[in-house]
A = this chain, B = another copy of it.
Amino acid sequence: MIISYSGGLDSTVLLYKYANQIKLAVSFYYGSKHNDQEIKYAQFNCSKLNIRHLIINLDFISEHFKSSLLKDGGDIPKEEYNIDNLKSTVVPFRNGIILSILAGIAESNNINKILIANHSGDHAVYPDCREEFIINMSNAIKSGTFNNVEIFAPFTNITKRDIALIGKELNIDFSQTYSCYEGDAIHCGKCATCLERKQALYGFDTTKYKS
């Protein structure tokens, strides 16, 4: 298996859960504010698990795409955590691009399964995290490769809280993962992803937390 591995909470749990079947982990540098931090943790965990790790630069995204997640893309929405302002953080078709590149690398390395850690909490905002997209994309990749490469997305219908609980069972050190959209060394604690991370790790409701 080949895994799309950012160094965030969700994909780190996926990495540890399937570590003994993963031949290759790939992180993408696409110019997001939090890329530099994330990738450090990705390197740390791959090294700890002795999994081969590639980092791929996608410079064209910061040059030609619009998103507040990107370094020159404007402010990340904070505290007010709702679908409308979170839409600014979407990097258009990012998961489609990542999965396509992984399909090509998988095919070049005789690997026929791609792991990705999309989960149900992302469905409302990010169209390329939804089950319908994952099924369609898997069909596209299967029909466009000789080895019938497929996507395996086991967290699609569970929450980030469920993922954190799986991670706790696996004794993962969550301090060695990074989630904040702001990209500073210390998590800001206020952006959507920080709120989600706290909810996932401590189990409380972010709607209460923010008020």
**What is the bound-complex CA distance between A54 and B61, given in angstroms?**
13
The B-contacting residues of A in range 134-180, CB under 8 angstroms, are: 136-137, 139-146, 149
Majority secondary structure, A binding face: helix
Q: Which of A38-46, A74-82, A103-111, A194-202 contacts B (4 or more CB under 8 A)?
A: A103-111
Residues from chain B with Cβ under 8 Å of A91 in the complex? 104
Q: Residues of A within 8 Å of B, CB-based: how many?
A: 44
Interface string of A90-110 (1 = CB under 8 A from B): 111111110111011111100
**What is the bound-complex CA distance between A132 and B137, given in angstroms?**
13
Given A92-B106, A96-B144, A127-B144, 6 further pairs, Cβ under 8 A = A56-B64, A65-B108, A93-B100, A93-B104, A136-B139, A137-B144
